[in-house]
Structure 1
């Protein structure tokens, strides 16, 4: 108290007096969940726009696959890496046309197949994206995605949204629960017309047919013939690229032509 005037120290020290934008307790509270969701959208969106990423090729696959792992693991890793290089060289990730890049490799940013695909882009000097996720057992980003294009999400839903919203194509290597979740998320969006037409290629037909009985879904009337035809198979990195192009992948010359036709 100074000359009978009480101190305002308790007020300035109170959590209520903190600037809202600097109050972590407030920002991490339940009522700010929607704001945090928006922030996760905006932060990644801003960086992607700065880099001119107009479209992506999304690569999914198991984080458990290793370059020197058992069985077919080394082959899957090698081919995912080769595909990352092929797609980056031929798809437009290296070509900045009017400040825009197309078919940039995008993964979940972790190890295994994600690392391999990012590494392939890295091998040829192309940028690539890593949409990482915070997990109870921390998943570190692999070292091959572009630092300015490697993001960390809390919300799976927002991570999935960013993976889907620029996708020109989806390539899925062998994987487990997470890979299946991501595959069926985009398959459902494609089936229901919630995303534009995009080719979907699964790598290693024998693996996928042993895991998912696509034909049984058709036989039991759970999907239509058109739904079944959304899925294609490939056995090598070159084969993946060929199947994508044959089934509608837009490469830079196609994109420029399409935009010219729709220009006013």
Structure 2
């Protein structure tokens, strides 16, 4: 077992033990009060830095995607196209797909935003984020608020648990009318088709846990040009164009 993995296991066990530890009232009050203020400070920083960024599209995808992978190239290409069409790009600020998207935006001198999360194995943003548009978060839920509050569309490339979390967060908020019905574009039909088939056959047809119209919350495409066209077509329907 690698030392890195052992360190992760130690951190996990420490959190489990801490959850069962009895605390007196003073400890609870001081610890929880600090958390409250930290959460508020992250919201304040996010609102201040992102309130004037203009129309942006969030690009989600795996941090593990190497730079020579086709998914990386697609993310870079589509982000450059988004900038040329008037949009800024928001990512989670890390490596892989996130780095590719920020790189594509930066290559066209577009707005390149990085909402970074502090993790044991990922502690800083990639080099393609605008310095004044990089924010570090301790809390995933605060970070996800920023993604959904300041994005006018979501492009989702292949990824793991984190990508799925962001995808279903966006779909749930749109489904429940907590945010506008912004376009959600899944790039990579081969990668996403199994999940989409399961949503249709199991969630809808077998258990009726979603409505048929919920399948319209997302669109599957295969390349960067198609992805950007979905975003453009959506906004042309409302006679809206990016304003910078």
Q: Bin the TM-score by the shorter chain.
A: 0.7 to 0.9
Shift of 1:46: 1.5
Determine the structure 2 residue equivalent to 1:15. Answer: none
Tell me how far apart the structure 1 counterparts of residues 184 and 242 of structure 2 sit (CA, whole Å).
22
Tell me how far apart the structure 2 counterparts of residues 255 and 203 of structure 1 sit (CA, whole Å).
23
The root-mean-square deviation of aligned C-alpha atoms, in Å, is: 2.1
* Structure of larger gyration radius: 1
**Superposed CA offset, 1:192-243 (max 9, x none):** 1000110000001111012442221221212111101111011111010112
Determine the structure 2 residue equivalent to 1:187. Answer: 171
From the two aligned structures, give the one with the greater helix fraction: 2
Determine the structure 2 residue equivalent to 1:82. Answer: 77
**Superposed CA offset, 1:176-207 (max 9, x none):** 11111110011100111000110000001111
Change (3 A) 1:243 1:45: same
Q: Indicate yes or no: 2:17 matched with 1:31.
A: no
Contact 1:169–1:249 under 8 Å retained in 2: no
Determine the structure 1 residue equivalent to 2:12. Answer: none
Shift of 1:253: 6.7
Determine the structure 2 residue equivalent to 1:215. Answer: 200
Determine the structure 2 residue equivalent to 1:261. Answer: none
Determine the structure 2 residue equivalent to 1:43. Answer: 45
Tell me how far apart the structure 2 counterparts of residues 62 and 54 of structure 1 sit (CA, whole Å).
25
Count of residues paired in the alignment: 211
Q: 1:171 aligns with which of 146, 155, 172?
A: 155
Instruction: Tell me whether 124-133 or 210-219 shows the greater mean CA deviation.
Output: 210-219
Determine the structure 2 residue equivalent to 1:128. Answer: 112
SS in 2 for 1:83: helix
Change (3 A) 1:234 1:256: closer
Tell me how far apart the structure 2 counterparts of residues 108 and 251 of structure 1 sit (CA, whole Å).
29
Segments ≥4 residues shifted beyond 3 Å = 249-253
Determine the structure 1 residue equivalent to 2:92. Answer: 108
**Superposed CA offset, 1:92-117 (max 9, x none):** xxxxxxxxxxx310000000000011
Tell me how far apart the structure 2 counterparts of residues 105 and 209 of structure 1 sit (CA, whole Å).
25
Tell me how far apart the structure 2 counterparts of residues 256 and 233 of structure 1 sit (CA, whole Å).
23
Contact 1:199–1:249 under 8 Å retained in 2: no
Q: TM-score, normalised by structure 2?
A: 0.81
SS in 2 for 1:167: coil
Shift of 1:127: 2.0
Tell me how far apart the structure 2 counterparts of residues 47 and 176 of structure 1 sit (CA, whole Å).
28
- For residues 1-264 of structure 1, the aligned pairs below 5 Å read 29-49=31-51, 52-68=52-68, 74-91=69-86, 103-212=87-196, 213-216=198-201, 217-220=203-206, 221-246=208-233, 248-249=234-235, 254-255=240-241
Change (3 A) 1:252 1:125: farther
